Chains A and B, each alone.
Chain A
Amino acid sequence: MKALLLFLLRLYVGLYMAYYSLPKIKRPSDFLKNIRLYEMVPENPPWLLNGMAVWIPWMELLAGLFLVLGIARRGAATLLTFLLVIFSAAILWRTLGIFQAQDIAFCDIAFDCGCGTGEVIICHKLPINFSLILAAAWIACSQDRSWSLTSKFSRRRNETE
């Protein structure tokens, strides 16, 4: 039962991250515009911010796909947990900034967070991210190798030996 639950969580986190990385890979300029708004990475030298805009979506895609397939899944889950914690903290920070600067209810705040989803209501986005972080962290800590390609390979190797 636990193995099945872990597999479903792998599908949830992996497919979510991989799917939403695709628009960012297709048009990195839009992602670049979004991450610049967080002011977390210096604008100079330019390759730093440009490189992040090109690199991060590929981390998400590969880690997401590997998580689904069960290859190096703990490394993939650790990387995704790390990325999701940073993204969520940045989104929360920016939302609080908007909340303080404008006379607007917290749950009415919506912007394109650079998550690949377009403009989202942050009150909806943050719980989703929180669930993704919990799921990814649990996968990262779990030793269970069921429903993964690596477990199939190692079983076959043991049989041949």
Chain B
Amino acid sequence: MLKILPELSLFLLLSAAAALVSNAINPNGLVLNFDYRSGLQDSGTPSDLNQESAEPQSGEALIQAKAQEYGFQLSGPEDVQALLEEASQEEAILILDARTAQAFADGHLPGAVRLDYWEVVKQGVDPAIQARLQQAFVVLIYCNGGDCEDSFNLAFYLSYQNPDLVASPELIHIFTGGMEAWRQLNQKDPQGYAIER
């Protein structure tokens, strides 16, 4: 057993070094000291700190409760339809897709701009999108829906962690059903709930 220890140490050191280098050069790498779920943690919420904490929630319910707590608007498919219609004529409505490049390529909301939360944390917001964010009076964000946290996390990042990007959290609308709900509606009504590829 003792003979294996140097080999084990070699693996641990080699893999740690390779992991650090690869993570630094990988555009999808992680910022090691960044709390990717800080908005969803119990501490640091803007709600009344003396308030009795409710039953612990998880997944979709937690995301919706936190979104309301932080002042984001929750949007259903009909709200999104109306916003998309307005967005086709109005530059100040920005639709953000918080999913991966692959998921975006497989289909997204018409006129949506891809802003992958994980990439944004590592690389920052593209200046063109940054300019549009600062002028926007509505920012609609979505991901896959259900217990997908990326739309909430992106909203939190844009309005609380980088408050210079979006003027106020109330401007942000989160499409809670996300792409999953939109796809289901698209199967019934492909015109009304169009998917762009």
Contacts and interface: CB of A to CB of B under 8 A. Distances in A.
Interface of A: 25-29, 32, 36, 43-47, 50-51, 53-55, 57-59, 61-63, 66, 72, 74-76, 78-79, 140
Contacts, number: 87
Given A54-B23, A58-B18, A78-B4, A28 B11 contact: no
Interface residues on B, range: 20 to 34
A78 B8 contact: yes
A47 B15 contact: no
Interface string B7-26: 11011101110111011001
Given A74-B7, A75-B7, A76-B11, A62 B18 contact: yes
Interface of B: 3-4, 6-8, 10-12, 14-16, 18-20, 22-23, 26, 28-37, 41, 100, 118
The residue among A44, A54, A55 with the most chain B CB atoms within 10 A of its own CB is A54
B30 A29 contact: yes
Contact of A59 (B15, B35, B118): B15
Nearest to A75: B7
The residue among B14, B15, B20 with the most chain A CB atoms within 10 A of its own CB is B15
